[in-house]
Amino acid sequence: MNYIIIKCGGSVLEELPLTFYQDVVNLQKSRKWKPIIVHGGGPFISSLLHKLQIETKFHDGMRITSPEVLDVVEMVLTGSVNKNIVSQLKKAGGRALGISGADGDLLNAKIMDNGNLGLVGEVHQVNTELVSQIMFTDNIPVISPIGIDERGNRLNINGDLAAAAVAKALGGKLCFVSDISGVYSEENGKKIWKRTLNKKEAEQLINKKIIKGGMVPKVRSALDTLSAGVKEVVILDGKEKSSLSNFCAGMEVGTKMVQ
């Protein structure tokens, strides 16, 4: 049985059709796949921060996180987005258990970049035992990307990096579900969709600012997992019917990361 780690982007959550969740449930019921969801929630966090009049800034697609911002991040991700996905999976005929990465030492994290981004962490260990226990009860794990350090401090983890860390710890396939059908390049002002992307091309496109914003941590963490034993990594559009199940079936969808 194969693990399929599914990163559900906050960008696309409101538009994901029920058939997407049915795909996830069917993969699990087929007994060929063990799906694990890690989610983001960027737009929902930004919207609540705006309402609360708390300023938010990004650096290379990563949210700079003050203690005040972290409280909102946690409230939105663990309190709202996570439970919404659990609810959708049940509506799709499945069973899911939502958990924060700070619970049960699920995502052990360290402060990133010497604290230059504030309370932003990177995962250095995943409690795979806990993930397995959740799956053993026939529940689909739904993980919100909050980490915890060895002293018990919570840290904001970029959802893409959290998903990549879980995939590296478990192996299997990794699928970034976003609001766009993969990565594009640009030639003479025209968008060209990339079927495949390697590290060198990705860094060139980042330098030229053709890959920007949230796509920067996504492609970097996606490519990073390949050298760490993840079998296949793709970025695809969750709004496209059957995109996830087609990827699992070995069909060509979205942009595939290559070494």
Ligand X SMILES: Nc1ncnc2c1ncn2[C@@H]1O[C@H](COP(=O)(O)OP(=O)(O)OP(=O)(O)O)[C@@H](O)[C@H]1O
Minimum gap (Å) between residue 209 Cβ and ligand X: 9
Phi, psi at 185, each rounded to 5°: -115, 175
E strand intervals along the chain: 2-8, 33-39, 58-59, 62-63, 96-100, 107-111, 121-126, 140-144, 146-148, 154-156, 173-178, 184-187, 190-193, 196-197, 232-237, 255-257
Query: How far is 241 from 219, CA to CA, in rounded Å?
Result: 23
Q: Is 57 in the site for ligand X (CB under 6 A)?
A: no
Q: Is 214 in the site for Mg ion (CB under 5 A)?
A: yes
211 contact choice in Mg ion, ligand X, none (CB below 5 to 8 Å, kind-dependent):
ligand X
Nearer to Mg ion by Cβ, of 164 and 226: the residue is 164
* 214, 220, 221, 245: residue in contact with ligand X (rule CB under 6 A): 214
* 48, 97, 130, 210: residue in contact with ligand X (rule CB under 6 A): 210
Minimum gap (Å) between residue 3 Cβ and ligand X: 20
3-state secondary structure of 138: coil
The answer to whether 21 and 188 have CB atoms below 8 angstroms apart is: no
Please tell me whether 101 is known to bind a ligand: no
Query: How far is 19 from 240, CA to CA, in rounded Å?
Result: 10
130 contact choice in Mg ion, ligand X, none (CB below 5 to 8 Å, kind-dependent):
none
Phi, psi at 132, each rounded to 5°: -65, -40
Nearer to ligand X by Cβ, of 134 and 180: the residue is 180
Q: Is 101 in the site for ligand X (CB under 6 A)?
A: no
Considering only residues 66 through 105, tell me which ones interact with Mg ion, judged by CB under 5 A. Answer: none
> Which among 25-33, 69-77, 209-217, 228-236 is the span making contact with Mg ion, rule CB under 5 A?
209-217
Q: Is 212 in the site for ligand X (CB under 6 A)?
A: yes
* 4, 5, 6, 10: residue in contact with ligand X (rule CB under 6 A): 10
What is the chain's Cα-based Rg? 17
Query: How far is 11 from 22, CA to CA, in rounded Å?
Result: 20
Total residues in contact with ligand X, by rule CB under 6 A: 22
Nearer to ligand X by Cβ, of 101 and 132: the residue is 101
Q: Is 238 in the site for Mg ion (CB under 5 A)?
A: no
Q: In this structure, how many other beta carbons lie within 10 angstroms of the beta carbon of residue 175? A: 26
Q: Identify any residues that bridge with 30 across adjacent strands, giving them in sequence order.
A: none
Q: Is 40 in the site for ligand X (CB under 6 A)?
A: yes
Tokens of 126: 């995943």
Question: Which residues are at the interface with Mg ion (CB under 5 A)?
Answer: 214
Binding footprint of ligand X on the chain (CB under 6 A) = 9-12, 40-43, 159-160, 178-180, 183-184, 210-215, 218
Report the binding-site residues for substrate: 41-42, 63, 156
